[in-house]
Amino acid sequence: MKIYPLGDAAAVVELGAEISEAVHRKVKALSMRLEAQPIPGMIEYVPAFTTVTVFYDPYRVLKEMGAQLSETGISKGVSPYRKVYNILEQMATDIGDEAESTVRVIEIPVCYGEEFGPDLEFVANHNGLTPEEVIRIHSSAEYLVYMVGFAPGFPYLGGMPEAIAAPRRPSPRLAIPAGSVGIAGKQTGVYPIETPGGWQIIGRTPIALFVPDSNPPTILASGDRICFRPISRQEYMERKEGNR
């Protein structure tokens, strides 16, 4: 484990050197501890593949920990980062696998191909498969949400079979519709809002991954497991209608 500053108002706890489920479990365990017991002056924490970053207000850290302040500022030798470091070090030393018990499995319905998945054909040809085989492979794996980022509710997923890996498009599309399911390299993901992007788009889900009026505002969270279920065009339309 390593802890280092991200400027004067954030600290990063690094819990491993490579992307793996074991490191992810530590990330999740530390996140759960921070959720249950926020450190003094903490604003928020952000879990990633191998790290948890804690954003804090240095002034509040000192005030909430009762540190001595002179009339114009910090007393010599007092550092908010040091205080945060000490707490985080203690919190992160004895984390285990406590996260395992709370795994959620979320099913994402996807209408593959045609206008919803203009690149399904490309992914199939690239791997010497039929589009039906790509759909079967993509929808029979279980994926782990390592982290959420890039866009609100966008899951970085692990677990895609390499048999359907495909390179990014040579030039990104200017607008990929919300709900699009794509493949880039060995990764798959779902676009929660319309954004530009270079992923190969193989289908679209009718469910909204980003719901700004609710809390939490996203369907998926770091640590969730998801699977994709193929649906017909008709079911897509019905589900989409039901969202309105």
Partner 1 sequence: MGIKVLRAGLQTTVQDLGRYGFQQHGVIVSGAMDTFALRMANLLVGNDEGEAALEITLMGPRLEFEQDALIAICGADLSAKIDGVPARQWCPVYIKKGSILSFGGCVFGCRAYLAVAGGFAVKEVLNSRSTYLRAEIGGYFGRALQEGDELTIGLPAEWSGRKIQKLAEQDAGMSPLGWGISVDVFPNYDTNPMIRVVRGAQFNCFEQESRDEFLSSPFKVLPQSDRMGYRLKGPKLELSEPLEMISEAVASGTVQVPPEGQPIVLLADRQTAGGYPKIAQIISVDLPVIAQTKPGESLRFQIVSLEEAEALYVAREMQIEQVRRAIALRYQ
The residues binding partner 1 (CB under 8 A) are 4-10, 12, 18-19, 31, 43-51, 53, 55, 58-59, 62, 69, 72-74, 79-81, 147-154, 156, 192-193, 195, 210, 212-213, 215-218, 221-222
* Residue (188 or 222) nearer to partner 1, CB: 222
Q: Which long-range contacts (CB under 8 A, 24 or more apart) does 177-186 make?
A: 177/204, 178/208, 178/209, 178/210, 179/204, 179/205, 179/206, 179/207, 179/208, 179/209, 180/116, 180/204, 181/108, 181/110, 181/112, 181/117, 181/205, 181/228, 182/119, 183/119, 183/123, 183/138, 186/160, 186/162
User: How far, in Å, CA of 59 to CA of 196, rounded?
Assistant: 39
End-to-end Cα separation, the chain, in angstroms: 46
* Residue (34 or 124) nearer to partner 1, CB: 34
* Residue (153 or 206) nearer to partner 1, CB: 153
Of 45, 35, 33, 23, give the one whose Cα is nearest residue 158.
23
Minimum gap (Å) between residue 194 Cβ and partner 1: 9
Strand order in the sheet with 42-47: 2-5, 10-14, 51-56, 42-47
Minimum gap (Å) between residue 56 Cβ and partner 1: 11
* Residue (40 or 47) nearer to partner 1, CB: 47
Minimum gap (Å) between residue 9 Cβ and partner 1: 6
Minimum gap (Å) between residue 76 Cβ and partner 1: 9
DSSP per-residue string spanning 171-232: S-EEEE-TTEEEEEBTEEEE-SS-EEE-SEEEEE-SS-SB-TTSSS-BS--TT-EEEEEE--
Phi, psi of 55, rounded to the nearest 5 degrees: -95, 135
Minimum gap (Å) between residue 195 Cβ and partner 1: 7
* Residue (2 or 229) nearer to partner 1, CB: 2
Minimum gap (Å) between residue 60 Cβ and partner 1: 9
* Residue (104 or 233) nearer to partner 1, CB: 104
* Residue (210 or 230) nearer to partner 1, CB: 210
Minimum gap (Å) between residue 127 Cβ and partner 1: 26
